[in-house]
Amino acid sequence: MSRTDDAGAVEVVVQEDLSRDKLASIAHHKSSKQLGDSPDLVVQNMEETPVELIPAIPEQQRLFLEYHDVCAWVSTSFGPPSLLSKATGLVTGLFQKGSKESKPTHRQILYNITGCCRPGEVLALMGPSGSGKTTLLTIMGARAQSHMRKEGDVNFNGQALNKRLKRQLGFVLQDDLLYESLTVWETLYYAAMLRMPREMSTAEKKSRVETVIKALGIESTRNTIIGGFFRKGISGGERKRVSIGHELLINPAVLLLDEPTSGLDSTTAMRLLTTLRQLAQGGRAIIPTIHQPSSRLFQQLDKLLLLSKGHCLYYGMSDQVDTWFDHLGYTLPYKINIADFILDLASADVTKINRDGEQSRQFLIKCSEAYMQRHPTNGFKNVDPDLMTLKDAADALPIKASAGQEPVLSVPWGKTQTESRRALEVIIDNTGRGGPASSRPSDDGGFMQRWLPFIPIGQPKGPSRWGAPYHTQLRILFIRSVRTRRFESLSTQDFAQFIVIGLLAGCFWYQRAKPDTLSAAGDTLGLLFFQLMFMSFRTLFVALFTFPNEFKMLLKERASGMYRLSAFYFARTASDLPMDFAVPTVFLLIVYWMTGLRPTAQAFFENYFTVMFLSLVAQSFGLLLGTILMNPKTAQTIAAILMLAFVLTGGYFVRGIPVWISWIKYLSFVYYGYGLLVHIEFSRRTLYSCLGSTGGVGSGAGLGSGQLSVSNPQTDPACTPIASLQTALGLQQDPNSMHYQAINASVLVAFLIFLRFCVYVALRKKTARV
């Protein structure tokens, strides 16, 4: 009898009454394993996950993934290539000019990797750290870094990956990129609404979400937030499952997963891989990279591609890998896990009498690459005469001395296709077999012949490239964006910060803006400038982080064709509005009424909307800097310099700026904003200069220094009305001039539109490789 407990833990079940035959059939099932020599013990690895709830891929939509001669190079210099290094690279090819010994500018990290994955198969990419698994996977999924040099073909049913095919491809990244503040259900629901075909109703999409949640066994966490470093949420294994679920929503025909089992305990990893196995049985091609599988996990794989420093060390059926190495003279030692052994081989840690570890590795690479010339699609299935002949041929070739050497067959960038082949053909020729790949009969089991008629090549009309229509994308992204910030913007700290600063300002300027005296007006100018500065600075510096924080997510989602960039952009920036207006409103209300600014509804609303509008302009500056630099630290430094320049030229601190530099003020939104606020507060208002006040023409800071208590300056004989407000207050613009105000308002609107447009263009450029 077999059982699994509620938590789904592994349970060893004693099968007392079962015959050996029955046990053999249980053990045959890939999700169970007989324990050692005892026929009575069977580890029931998995509770049956109801993956079959997810519809199988219809035969016409299954995808056969092939990759041929995939090579990749990375720059040996730090970071992506500069324009200069690109230009130099063009001129000199691979080598820099000038140095005595030419220095390679690129390092090859993948060498002519060839193979395929059929629907229904699990092809694992294995290899030691740095062997090129992730690179190969990202090339298969068209997600490789843009500055990486690549060669070779990756085909899906014979077609290169296009945007439509991309929608049938699921890609699970190594670090699960999910919104930390969303719950599991929200995460999957928004993804479903954006990714699933528009022809499906919302109810159907919700039902798919439920199915995926059930299939992946994460029902108990459906209302738990994903969580992150600061806020605990679901566990690592559950996160991984949510990431896979995110991709399963679209029921992909090909699922690529980067290290899906890393960081998981062996039971959870096993359970996950069993789920993948079951998914493969539904007609999907599944390609995970796996670091260090346990022997049980290894048994779940159909095919294996073993990489060693970018070379193929083995490609073929996973259960034949020990046979392969055995025939090449590297027999699996007794009681050693096969996965550990082959990783040791790939890491050049296995020595033989006549070869050290590195020589062994090179020998095995030669054999594998020679064999692959003959069997590029299937790789190794079972022992054939070729293998022994190739082995003898490879044995006869000279092998470079020991460890630390450049890998054998390392061919500089641009020469692989010819020279690497030539090196291999030496072996092929020696065996008297082989020939160009194209002239060889296909060994894909006739798959292509069978399925090619169904492949939708050149079909005039198909489903839309985007799952959801534009307005739905906008709506869902808007709601999601608001939800993802629910812990940030409406947090108690934010409210507290605005309330405390508002109260402080209210106390400092308490009813100071009320009197119509010159000295009070001086203080009021300071208050208006403070109001403007506080709001603008805050929004600008917060905005620096907006796109850099979400950039990885944006790249990931755009790569899977979830939505249009413009939909994301509009929704994301619009979602800031309610948040950015709600909290500061409290601040403005407190400050306005405590300080005694002009007590009319019109003045209040004008002041309110001007400050808010200025915040939006400042925010646009922040968004632009953040998007262009994508590095909040650098952006902060530049923003501080810019803001300082804008503030100093804004018209409050420095009045007599030298002409040669005074043009900066025309770039400063602070200058126009300050002009508007002063107009709102002082236009058509008579101010009085009262005896005893030291206020007068001069700096804004000095205006309020001489305080004279005057109850009513209009009737007080010590007070005389001011003829020119502009002169008396030392303003750069006449607050009574409607002409200036029209210019201020128009320039600010133009600033906003222009900056927002620039942000969009910058964002598009940054995500252009998607």
Ligand X SMILES: Nc1ncnc2c1ncn2[C@@H]1O[C@H](COP(=O)(O)OP(=O)(O)OP(=O)(O)O)[C@@H](O)[C@H]1O
Q: Give the number of other Cβ atoms within 10 Å of residue 308's Cβ.
A: 26
The distance of closest approach from Cβ of residue 145 to ligand X in the complex, given in angstroms and rounded to an integer, is 5
Rounded Cα gap, residues 604 and 590, in angstroms: 12
Nearer of residues 340 and 716 to ligand X, judged by Cβ: 340
The distance of closest approach from Cβ of residue 88 to ligand X in the complex, given in angstroms and rounded to an integer, is 18
Nearest to 297 by CA among 678, 10, 715: 10
The distance of closest approach from Cβ of residue 272 to ligand X in the complex, given in angstroms and rounded to an integer, is 17
Q: Which residue type, as a one-letter code, is found at position 663?
A: W
Torsion sign (Cα): 141, 147, 148, 151: positive
The interface region with ligand X, picked from 127-135, 434-442, 444-452, 497-505 by CB under 6 A, is 127-135
Do residues 747 and 753 make contact, with C-beta atoms less than 8 angstroms apart? no
Residues from 8 through 27 that contact ligand X (CB under 6 A): none
The distance of closest approach from Cβ of residue 107 to ligand X in the complex, given in angstroms and rounded to an integer, is 7
Nearer of residues 190 and 341 to ligand X, judged by Cβ: 341
Q: Which residue intervals of 485-631 are DSSP H helices? A: 492-508, 518-543, 546-559, 565-595, 601-629
The distance of closest approach from Cβ of residue 379 to ligand X in the complex, given in angstroms and rounded to an integer, is 19
Structure tokens at 750: 């133009």
Q: What is the DSSP letter of 111?
A: E
H or E element in which residue 342 lies: helix 338-346
The distance of closest approach from Cβ of residue 287 to ligand X in the complex, given in angstroms and rounded to an integer, is 13
Sequence-separated (6 or more) residues with CB below 8 Å from residue 594: 502, 503, 505, 506, 507, 509, 510, 511
Do residues 722 and 713 make contact, with C-beta atoms less than 8 angstroms apart? no
The distance of closest approach from Cβ of residue 365 to ligand X in the complex, given in angstroms and rounded to an integer, is 16
Nearer of residues 323 and 410 to ligand X, judged by Cβ: 410
Of 89, 115, 119, 132, the one binding ligand X (CB under 6 A) is: 132
Nearer of residues 290 and 690 to ligand X, judged by Cβ: 290
The distance of closest approach from Cβ of residue 25 to ligand X in the complex, given in angstroms and rounded to an integer, is 36
Per-residue contact track with ligand X, 40 to 79, x per CB under 6 A?
A: ----------------------------------x-----
Nearer of residues 174 and 430 to ligand X, judged by Cβ: 174
Rounded Cα gap, residues 372 and 107, in angstroms: 23
The distance of closest approach from Cβ of residue 593 to ligand X in the complex, given in angstroms and rounded to an integer, is 57
Nearer of residues 139 and 455 to ligand X, judged by Cβ: 139
The distance of closest approach from Cβ of residue 421 to ligand X in the complex, given in angstroms and rounded to an integer, is 23
The distance of closest approach from Cβ of residue 132 to ligand X in the complex, given in angstroms and rounded to an integer, is 4
Q: Give the number of other Cβ atoms within 10 Å of residue 83's Cβ.
A: 7
127 binds ligand X (CB under 6 A): yes
Residues from 641 through 700 that contact ligand X (CB under 6 A): none
The distance of closest approach from Cβ of residue 91 to ligand X in the complex, given in angstroms and rounded to an integer, is 22
The interface region with ligand X, picked from 128-136, 331-339, 390-398, 727-735 by CB under 6 A, is 128-136
Nearer of residues 85 and 134 to ligand X, judged by Cβ: 134
Rounded Cα gap, residues 501 and 480, in angstroms: 30
Nearer of residues 128 and 622 to ligand X, judged by Cβ: 128
Nearer of residues 258 and 580 to ligand X, judged by Cβ: 258
- Between β-strands 254-257 and 169-172, what pairing exists: parallel, antiparallel or unpaired? parallel
769 binds ligand X (CB under 6 A): no
Per-residue contact track with ligand X, 477 to 496, x per CB under 6 A?
A: --------------------
The distance of closest approach from Cβ of residue 166 to ligand X in the complex, given in angstroms and rounded to an integer, is 21
257, HSE (Cβ side, Cα atoms, 13 Å): 32
Structure tokens at 332: 């699996």
Structure tokens at 667: 């770039």
The distance of closest approach from Cβ of residue 44 to ligand X in the complex, given in angstroms and rounded to an integer, is 30
Of 68, 206, 291, 769, the one binding ligand X (CB under 6 A) is: 291
Determine whether 347 is exposed, middle or buried from the number of CB atoms within 10 Å of its CB (0-12, 13-18, 19+). Answer: middle
The distance of closest approach from Cβ of residue 243 to ligand X in the complex, given in angstroms and rounded to an integer, is 16
Of 26, 109, 588, 708, the one binding ligand X (CB under 6 A) is: 109
Q: Spell out the long-range contacts of 197-200 with Cβ–Cβ below 8 A and sequence spacing 24 or more.
A: 197/463, 197/464, 197/467, 198/464, 198/466, 198/467, 198/468, 198/469, 198/472, 199/463
Q: What is the DSSP letter of 159?
A: E
Nearer of residues 131 and 517 to ligand X, judged by Cβ: 131
The interface region with ligand X, picked from 131-139, 191-199, 370-378, 647-655 by CB under 6 A, is 131-139
The interface region with ligand X, picked from 21-29, 122-130, 345-353, 472-480 by CB under 6 A, is 122-130
Nearer of residues 291 and 558 to ligand X, judged by Cβ: 291
The distance of closest approach from Cβ of residue 79 to ligand X in the complex, given in angstroms and rounded to an integer, is 8
130 binds ligand X (CB under 6 A): yes
Nearer of residues 213 and 306 to ligand X, judged by Cβ: 306
The interface region with ligand X, picked from 126-134, 610-618, 720-728, 751-759 by CB under 6 A, is 126-134
Return the C-alpha torsion angle 400, 406, 412, 413, nearest 10. Answer: 140
* CA dist list (Å): 159 to 134, 206, 513: 22, 32, 72
Of 131, 320, 560, 573, the one binding ligand X (CB under 6 A) is: 131
Angle (CA) 526-529-535 rounded to 5° is: 135
Buried/exposed 33-69: b ≥16 CB within 10 Å, e otherwise: bbeeeeeeebbbbbbebebeebebbeeebbbbbbbbb
Rounded Cα gap, residues 139 and 578, in angstroms: 41
The interface region with ligand X, picked from 57-65, 132-140, 230-238, 615-623 by CB under 6 A, is 132-140
Per-residue contact track with ligand X, 242 to 281, x per CB under 6 A?
A: ----------------------------------------
Nearer of residues 129 and 492 to ligand X, judged by Cβ: 129
Nearer of residues 107 and 440 to ligand X, judged by Cβ: 107
Enumerate the β-bridge partners of residue 109.
none
The interface region with ligand X, picked from 14-22, 124-132, 178-186, 600-608 by CB under 6 A, is 124-132
The distance of closest approach from Cβ of residue 176 to ligand X in the complex, given in angstroms and rounded to an integer, is 15
Do residues 189 and 249 make contact, with C-beta atoms less than 8 angstroms apart? no
Of 99, 129, 201, 492, the one binding ligand X (CB under 6 A) is: 129
Nearer of residues 132 and 626 to ligand X, judged by Cβ: 132
Q: Which residue type, as a one-letter code, is found at position 26?
A: I
Q: Give the number of other Cβ atoms within 10 Å of residue 312's Cβ.
A: 26
Nearer of residues 347 and 389 to ligand X, judged by Cβ: 347
Do residues 169 and 139 make contact, with C-beta atoms less than 8 angstroms apart? no
- The strand ranges marked E within 373-509 are none
Q: With contacts defined by CB under 6 A, how many residues of the chain interact with ligand X?
A: 12
Nearer of residues 75 and 484 to ligand X, judged by Cβ: 75
Residues from 133 through 162 that contact ligand X (CB under 6 A): 133-135, 145
Nearer of residues 206 and 769 to ligand X, judged by Cβ: 769
Sequence-separated (6 or more) residues with CB below 8 Å from residue 233: 180, 224, 225, 226, 227, 239
* Residues found near ligand X in the complex (CB under 6 A): 74, 109, 127, 129-135, 145, 291
